[in-house]
A = this chain, B = another copy of it.
Amino acid sequence: MYVVIIYDVKIDRIDAVRHILKKYLTWVQNSAFEGELTVGKLEELRILVSHVIEKEQDSIIVYTVNNPTWLEKAVWGREKGTTDNVL
């Protein structure tokens, strides 16, 4: 499945969350990653992230589509995302 993840986590935990996400997905913007993942890998990612975030404060939204061709993407302005820039 194709996955887009956007996160809004407290600054103390941003590096830890990014560190996990970049093992599974490609950085596309300040607070967003995307990529192809199996259901099993997404669950693995969810578990790793759940150990790092504070569930009462942090929020991570996970959008998934079963078929990547269903999801169209456009960029207005600058195209930022490459995994090179993130860390």
Chain A: residues with CB nearer than 8 A to chain B?
A: 4, 6, 8-9, 28-32, 46, 49-50, 53-67, 70-80
| Contact across chains for A65 and B72 when beta carbons are under 8 A apart | yes
Copies of this chain, complex-wide, total 2
Residue of B nearest to A55 (CB): B77
Q: What are the residues of chain B within 8 A of A9 when measuring CB–CB?
A: 77
Considering the chains assembled together, what is the distance between the CA atoms of A49 and B74 in angstroms? 14
* Chain B nearest Cβ from A51, distance in angstroms: 11
* Chain B nearest Cβ from A33, distance in angstroms: 11
| Contact across chains for A29 and B59 when beta carbons are under 8 A apart | yes
15 pairs from A and B in contact (CB 8 Å cutoff): A6-B32, A30-B31, A55-B77, A58-B78, A59-B76, A59-B77, A59-B78, A61-B73, A62-B73, A62-B74, A63-B63, A63-B72, A63-B73, A64-B74, A65-B71
